[in-house]
Structure 1
Amino acid sequence: MSKQTGRLPLAGLTAWDRCAVMGVVNVTPDSFSDGGRFFDTTDAVKHGLDLIAQGADLIDVGGESTRPGATRVDEDEELRRVVPVVRGLVAEGATVSVDTMRASVAEQALAAGAVLVNDVSGGLADPRMVPVVAGAGAPFVVMHWRGLLAGDAIRGAYEDVVAEVVDELRARVDAVVAGGVAPERVVVDPGLGFSKDSEHDLILLAHLDELLTLGHPLLVAASRKRFLGRVLAGDGAAPPPARERDAATAAVSALAAEAGAWAVRVHEVRATADAVRVARAVEGARAPGRRPEGSG
């Protein structure tokens, strides 16, 4: 499978000629990265529009933190947080995805104009999710998930993390498609940081080509995550705060784009928007006929 296969157009969504940039808007008080900064609807909509101005292609709106140990919000509160922000961004012409594990939130966000559902549980947390997405004909991000990040689920045990993630994602995609979601509307996500330690995350990033063998567009969500802090700190040192990991995130974005990812999901957009465009330009320079005769 070629790198271009990972960037096949996703049915129901705009086709980009490069890795797309998904900007994150967390409407939460407790996100590990920016909790509380954009909790107000007006501030959240403004932030989403700022991310678009910086180069984001679509905005992922979420109202529930999935950091390790986070307490789930109730359904009414998640709806209160998410739906007005989706509606406000759509009214301004933004392409919006909704980050939720609840079918009711997905349903109302789609009704408000969202065009994609990004479910970190891949439809496992709510049995109504797959029927709702299938009925709406919406694209669906299926992430590798081994349960909510609490207790033993925080750290996963793997003998071969790449093979196991690929196999488990394939099984989940098959179930989602059997539930009515069109195969050409499925995106896969390796779930970096979810039931994985830093070494697992790095190994998965080094083998994105194997995830592309699933035959679906690939979303890579590495932004500000724990493994980047560990890499930057080195052995025995304290990792830098989440907001000091944006340059490292942009480096991962360039690598993911070069590997053929359909999109990268990031909190700070400008550096990643530059990174994916440079990766596309380099890819284009590899095309036949781009090298002048006589160059050595």
Structure 2
Amino acid sequence: MEIFGVVNASPDSLAKFSVVSTEDEAREYGSLLLTQGADHLDVGAQASHGDAAFVAPEQEWQVVEPVLNGLLSLGVDVAIDTWQVETARNALDAGASVLNASDALQSDEMIELAAEREVQVVLPFMLGPDPRHLKHVQGDPVQVMLDWFDLQLERARHWGIRERIVLDPGTGFSPPHWDWSERFEYQKAIYSGLDRLRSFELPVYVPIAWKQTPDRLELVDLVLEQQVEYVRAHIPKQIRERHAALLEGSPLPTSDTWEGYE
């Protein structure tokens, strides 16, 4: 399992400990994530939660450019996490090697960009045009997700990029102000059905929760038990420790929360 360590360039991010704004800060924080077990890095400059401000493409690039440059100086693969094609293009031009397409490649411009570049593409399940405008899933969430991927992967095949797709169940996003108890049950259902994504014969990438509560750590362990190829994590050291314990058959208690990540 490989870990994308999360770096945020958006001041609206709820994970304040992961926010950096300069090239030097990015280099220092990215280096810390790598020493704590990350293999790659992921950076975005626009928060997706309902209370975050909308950031225009020009401003998004202005914010993320120095952070991206700092991360690229570390010599590892860096994913650009954006739903705005202008930001994605600028980041790939600058050296980002993974496109975390948080519009789910739904715009012709984004999928055309993905087709132009020989990069890996993270495709998140999404019912809505972008993470800020999502609808609730109705019915069996796993089946809805599978049906959605069927359609989107056929489109990706048409554009010649299917073999470069990595499947993301989209659980890093949610409709605005969704009650956590309902979101927990939804994510638990999705993670319990991750094995059904194997029918597409593509790698699986899952965004890991960072908030330190027993129910969230229950979800973390459920993901790690699925032996997915990639996770996106704010606290890679914790993920490495929990994963190792699961592999040894001695899972850590979900009460084993870490301080400093509230």
Is the pair's TM-score, using the shorter chain for normalization, greater than 0.5? yes
Supply the distance in 2 between the matched residues of 1:188 and 1:251 (Cα, whole angstroms).
22
Q: 1:156 aligns to what? A: 136
Q: Select which of 63, 66, 78 maps to 2:60.
A: 78
**2:113 is aligned with 1:136:** no
Supply the distance in 2 between the matched residues of 1:64 and 1:73 (Cα, whole angstroms).
6
- Deviations along 1:147-183, whole A, 9 cap, x unmatched? 24557x3x504111110011112211221231231x2
Q: 2:2 aligns to what? A: 20
- Higher relative contact order, structure no. (Cα contacts within 8 Å, ≥ 6 residues apart): 1
Superposition map of 1:4-83 within 5 A: 19-34=1-16, 37-83=19-65
Supply the distance in 2 between the matched residues of 1:37 and 1:136 (Cα, whole angstroms).
28
Q: Which has the larger radius of gyration?
A: 1
| Distance change in 2, residues 1:117/1:207 (3 Å) | same
| Distance change in 2, residues 1:270/1:251 (3 Å) | farther
Amino acid in structure 1 at the alignment position of 2:138: Y
Superposition map of 1:134-213 within 5 A: 134-147=115-128, 148-149=130-131, 153=134, 156-181=136-161, 183-192=162-171, 193-195=173-175, 197-213=183-199
Aligned positions, number? 241
1:117 match: secondary structure: strand
Q: Select which of 249, 258, 273 maps to 2:225.
A: 258
Q: 2:243 aligns to what? A: 276
The Cα of 1:274 is off from its aligned counterpart by 2.4
**2:198 is aligned with 1:216:** no
* Matched-pair contact (CA < 8 Å) for 1:98–1:118: yes
Supply the distance in 2 between the matched residues of 1:198 and 1:253 (Cα, whole angstroms).
11
* Matched-pair contact (CA < 8 Å) for 2:12–2:53: no
* Matched-pair contact (CA < 8 Å) for 1:20–1:263: yes
The Cα of 1:120 is off from its aligned counterpart by 2.0
Give the superposed CA RMSD: 2.3
* Matched-pair contact (CA < 8 Å) for 2:6–2:18: no
* Matched-pair contact (CA < 8 Å) for 2:21–2:67: no
Supply the distance in 2 between the matched residues of 1:121 and 1:157 (Cα, whole angstroms).
17
Supply the distance in 1 between the matched residues of 2:217 and 2:2 (Cα, whole angstroms).
13
Supply the distance in 1 between the matched residues of 2:136 and 2:238 (Cα, whole angstroms).
31
**2:77 is aligned with 1:91:** no
* Matched-pair contact (CA < 8 Å) for 2:38–2:236: yes
The Cα of 1:251 is off from its aligned counterpart by 5.1
| Distance change in 2, residues 1:67/1:217 (3 Å) | same
| Distance change in 2, residues 1:222/1:281 (3 Å) | same
Amino acid in structure 2 at the alignment position of 1:27: A
TM-score (norm 2): 0.83
Supply the distance in 1 between the matched residues of 2:65 and 2:224 (Cα, whole angstroms).
31
2:79 match: secondary structure: strand
The Cα of 1:121 is off from its aligned counterpart by 1.9
2:3 match: secondary structure: strand
TM-score (norm 1): 0.74
More displaced 10-residue stretch of structure 1: 272-281 or 71-80: 272-281
Gaps of 5+ in 2: 250-262
